[in-house]
Each structure stands twice: as C-alpha cells, then as structure tokens.
Amino acid sequence: MKIHEYQAKQILREAGVGVPRGIVADTPQAAADAFGQLGGQLAVVKAQTHSGGRGKGTVKDNPRQHSVEVVGSPDEARQAAGNLLGHALVTVQTGPEGQLVRRVLVEQGCRIERELYLGIVVDRAAAMPVLMASPQGGMDIEQVAARTPELIYREPFHPDAGLRSYQARKLAQKLGLSGGATRAGEEFMRRLCRVFVNRDCSLVEINPLVLTGEGALLALDAKMSFDPSSLFRHPELRELRDLAEEQPAETRAAEAGLSYVKLDGSIGCLVNGAGLAMSTMDLIQLHGGAPANFLDVGGGANLDQVTEAFRILLADGGLRAVLVNIFGGIMRCTTIAEAIVASYRSVGFQVPLVVRLEGTEVDEGREILAASGLNIITAEDLTDAAKRVVAAAG
Amino acid sequence: MSILIDKNTRVLCQGITGKAGRFHARQCLDYGTQVVGGVTPGKGGERIEGLPVFDTVEEAVRQTGADATMIFVPPPTAADAILEAADAGIRLIVAITEGIPVLDMVGACDVLRRGKSRLIGPNCPGVITPDACKIGIMPGYIHRRGPVGVISRSGTLTYEAVWQLSRLGLGQSTCVGLGGDPIVGTSFVDLLAMFQDDPQTEGVLLIGEIGGTAEEEAAAYVRGQFRKPVAALVAGRTAPPGKRMGHAGAIIAGGRGTAAEKIAALQSAGIQLAQSPADMAAAMQRALQRS
C-alpha cells in the first residue's frame, strides 16, 4: 500500500526523524495561507500524487508547470497551487493521461549543502531488511547503481535489534558526514530503520536527504509503502489509504477477494492461480493477441466471485474476447462450469467467450457448457484456447 | 526414492480445527498420507476426522512421533506456529498459509537457519511424493510416480505441469511448491542439491515467475554443479513493472526480477526453456532426450 509524501513525512515527524516544516493545502488560497504560516521566506509547492518520478513531472495541459515549484510569496504559492490542483500530472510512471492532483504540500525552503540517499527494503535473498545509503542523493538511484555501484553502501539489520550503533557510524563516515552532522546522521538512520520495522514497511526511501546550510539533516522527499500482509495490524495506516489514487477496477476486485491488474490489450482473462494467470497472459501474447488484464480468481472461484470477476472484466470497454482458463484440482470443473453459465446469463456477454477447463470432473464440466445453449467456445487444450481467443478477438 | 517425504513420514496438521485444515487433513489421509494428529491451542482432547487434537506441537510430537507438519494457521499467528514446530523438533514444516507479514517471516527464517528444521513455503501448495505421501492441498490424482522432480513457485500452474507430464508418461519423483511470497524457507537451489543425490530423479522441471532472483541463482547452480537435465518455465513475460501479480513475491521492483532476465540466465545455463505453459512437459522431454 502506498501513501502520499505528506503522509510519509508526518509519520517520520512523529518518529523524531528530521523533515522540513510543511502544510498540506487543497485549494490555492489554502496554499497562500500555508506560505504565510511557514514564516514567509521561501517555500516549495509540491504536487501530491502516489506516482513515482514526480520530480520530473509536468502538468498535462500546461507542460511548463512542473510538479515542484519554488515560491517566494503567498501570491506565487497561490498561483503554483492553482496550476497544479485539479490538473493531471504526467510522470514516467503515470502514462500520458497523468494522475489528478488533489493536494499540494507547501514546505519551508532550506539551503541545501549536500544531497544524500537513504533507502530501506527487505532483501529477499538474505531474508533481512537492508539500509542502503549513498552520498549520491537527488538522483535516480537506479542510475547510481548502474554507473557507480560502489557508492551505494548496504547494511542489513535484524528487525528486533534494529540498526546497530557501529553500523550507523560506518555509514555516517561513508556519507562524508562530519562535526555535529555525524551524530545527527547516525540518529536519523537508526530512527528510520525503527520506523521501517514498527510500521511493517516494504519500502522507505529518502531521496534526497539534505544536509542544510545550518548543519541539520532533513528528508526533503519521503516515499513509504507498506506490506499489504501486515495491514491487519495497522489500523492507523489503513486510514491513510487514498482510493482516488488506485484503479477502481483493481480496488473493486480486491474487495471481492480477487486479484486484478489492468493492462492495455483486448483479450480479457479469468484464471485460477497467480502463476497460471500470468502464464495465460503470456500465452495469449505468444499467439499474437494482447491481454487486457491479469485476473486471479483464487482457490475458491465460487459463483459470486466468478460473476463479479466477469462484471469487472466486461466493464472494460476495449474488450473484444474473453478467455477463461481454469485448472480444477480440489475445485471441480462442474462447479466452475455452472458458475460460468449462471454468470454468463446474469451479466450478459457481448463478446466471444472461450473456456478451457481441465482437471476434476472435466468431461462433466464441458458437458454443462455445451448443454447450456450459450455461445461459449470450449477449447481442447491451452494452445487451442489461445488460438481460438485470439481469432475471436479479431 | 524421492526427496523430503515418503510413506513413512508422520504428519501433523496445525490449524486442523479450521475449515481448510480439517478439509485438507481428510484429503491427505485419503491419499494415503500418515496424518497422525492435529494441533489447535485450546482444542486439545477433541478428535477431528478420527485424529487426536493437541494443544501444543510438543505434546503432539511426544504422543504421535510426528516428524512433519502442515500449517493452516491464519496469518497473524502463522509465523509463531512455524517456530513452535521447529522448537518441537519437527524436521519438515510445510506452511500453506497465504498472507503472513513479511517481517514475521524475516524473524522466523532467521531462527530456522540456525536449527535443523526445513521450512517449505509459506503461501505454497505443499509437497507430494506420488503414491507415498501428500502434504498439502494439491489434487493427488493428477500425479504419477516417475523420474521427474518438480520445483515451482506457483500452485495451479504446477498442477498444469504435472497433468502434462503424467499424460506424456513422465511421472514425478517429488513435487515441491516453494510458495509465492517474497521470503520463503526453501529455494530452487536447496532442492536441486537434494534431487542431485536422489537416484529416482532423472531430470528436474523448474517453474518460476517474475520477482526476486531465485531463478538466476538456480541457473548459476545448474551451470556450476547440477548434472541432470533441467527444463524451466518463467511466468510473467507480459507482466508490467511495479504491479503485484497475485503472489506477494511476483513483482518487478526497481527494474529487477523481470521474466526476460530470468529466461536469459536459465538459457545460458543450458536449461531447456518452455515456450509457453502448454510446452512445459514437452520441454522436460526434450531436456531428457538431449542428455
């Protein structure tokens, strides 16, 4: 689960991790007021959306307006906010339609001496969280990793012990911190690691971490995302969820216990099992078609779920055919076939439906489909299913 | 011969009083697995499907001599159940549960690596040695005994592969589901080493997917040390970056973990790649014929 920059900074603030003073605004006037409240010197107006790459983002119908603007007066703050709020921000991650900006963060400006990088993820191979630090802040960290990987320092830490003092000291030295900033940096890193553990994060990224002219360390940007499997034990994080930033179809599917990801193609897929669903998408592409989605109906696949899955799929106006690929192991093919027939009738299909069933009671399942009198194309095997649905999509 | 489990394995079911635990304990018994008891704290003394239920794994082991367990405990307490089993001396822990918090698994794996128990999963369908022992939720009837070892990160995609293999006359020695989570107890490499030493296994089929580096590590191991034919499928060539594709571990993050990278690594190790999920058994057959 992702959250906005201003929410991440609030979490850090509460944990005693240095962040600039900032106020969220959802109208241009509120942005002007925020400027005043911050002491009225220099401020930064920052568009708040979940998408990455915001630093280089621009407004869709006004490409000269960037997602981050330095302002020197309440009027400038009002102007910048007005250009951002209610407009679509386009970044490398949003696609050309962009993402609607509903809030801006008005943040106190600071004098930047140096820009550093800190990031924390769980290293899968080591099965341990790892803090990554680099003196090359303010840049795309993947570029740093590609060009100068030796400038990314890594310290794994155990969730219970946290980052140890000696690890923090090592990294502070590698980051070139000196004087008062050394201890401040060590404390910053230790607290950041504690936040990662306490909130069950999947990612925390501070880029850049700035050393100000006054010798303070502040997270100029903060990105946080959370392990979805841990949200049951974080009611405070569930409240931070912003449904407006999510794809409605994906949200709707999740509520029904389905896993759905929208893609760009014209062939809808309904499959039981994530691996089988991914490889069904691959199979369609191999035979010259374009999958419209990933959809894992899970181990249950009862009548309600299949019906809801079809409704979600068919709400996609660009759909030209649907492939149902089910391997019934414990789940019987007869149950699936009955669900398909009932859903087909209640949802009302406008596009060709190809069904490939295999597994327990497969012959009886195919019988049910054939006897239904509905326009359902039954496929023999996977290859046959892919070819038929690609042909049906035209 | 097979690996990990055989007809002598004695299995507990942790979470047996829940709907899934009870159902699958019955299914495993019907397959011929020696399921010897269940554990649900507070329900000790009950009987489920004719099996004794205990309050603790320690007591269950003492009373039944169990050496393996399958875990259906819900996510909030599943990692604790894994650690309890390890503490009680269970040598093989098969965690079916999906949705265990990642940091819980970090803590659990850290303890397990210092002990003697092997964890399979979590979020996996389980392990099966056909005609001998089934620990998990896979449909037993699709399996046949034979020379192919199967190691997979998936569930139904594995059943698809086994179905194809059985129809082609290529039975299976042992099939292991690694699990779809980012942190799992056992890797492709761990099991390849076991299959290397198993006389019944003549070749191994790997079923991978996007996310992480498990397939790349498997490729390096095969290139360096594995002496039997290997075939593989990687699911998710068409998966977009940054999106979780069902499994918590199936995500292309920061540009890493793409299907293309995995396929390239496996190919460079001389592994026979399946062109599509329809081609898995045929790829295994090609690999066996080439050797």
Please give the sequence-ordered ranges of beta strands (E in DSSP) within A9-98, or none if there are none: 22-25, 43-48, 58-59, 62-66, 68-71, 88-90
d(CA B37, CA B64): 7
* Domains of chain A from N-terminus onward: 21-108 (3.30.1490.20), 112-238 (3.30.470.20), 248-393 (3.40.50.261)
d(CA B185, CA B178): 8
Is B143 an annotated catalytic residue?
A: no
Do A96 and A90 meet the contact criterion of CB atoms below 8 Å apart?
Answer: yes
Topology of the domain covering B10-120:
Rossmann fold (3.40.50)
Strands A293-296 and A353-359, by their bridges, are unpaired
B238 and chain A: CB distance < 8 Å anywhere?
Answer: yes
Which pLDDT tens digit goes with each residue over A86-134?
999 998 778 788 899 999 999 999 999 999 999 999 999 999 999 999 9
Question: How many Å from the N-terminal Cα to the C-terminal Cα in chain B?
Answer: 21
Cα angle value B283/B287/B291 (rounded, 5°): 165
Name the pLDDT band for A300 (thresholds 50, 70, 90).
low
User: Residue A94: what pLDDT?
Assistant: 80
d(CA B144, CA B128): 10
Domain range summary for chain B, segments of one domain joined by +: 10-120, 138-290
Do B285 and B272 meet the contact criterion of CB atoms below 8 Å apart?
Answer: no
What is the ipTM score, two decimals? 0.94
Residue with tokens 């005693």: A16
Residues of chain B with pLDDT under 50: none
Reply yes or no: is the peptide bond before residue A208 cis, omega within 30 of 0: yes
Chain A contacts of B100, Cβ < 8 Å? Answer: 229
Secondary-structure class of domain B138-290 per CATH: alpha beta
- Yes or no, beta carbons of A93 and B249 under 8 Å apart: no
> How distant is the Cα of B215 from the closest Cα of chain A, in angstroms?
11
CA atoms lying within 13 Å on the CB side of residue B263: 13
Which pLDDT tens digit goes with each residue over A49-93?
998 777 778 898 888 889 999 999 999 999 999 999 999 999 877
d(CA A128, CA B105): 9
Mean pLDDT within A18-26: 97
- B residues 60-119 near A, CB within 8 Å? 75-76, 99-103, 105-107, 109-110
Nearest CA in chain A to B211: A124
Does the pLDDT value for residue A331 go beyond 80?
no
Chain B contacts of A359, Cβ < 8 Å? Answer: 139, 142, 159, 163
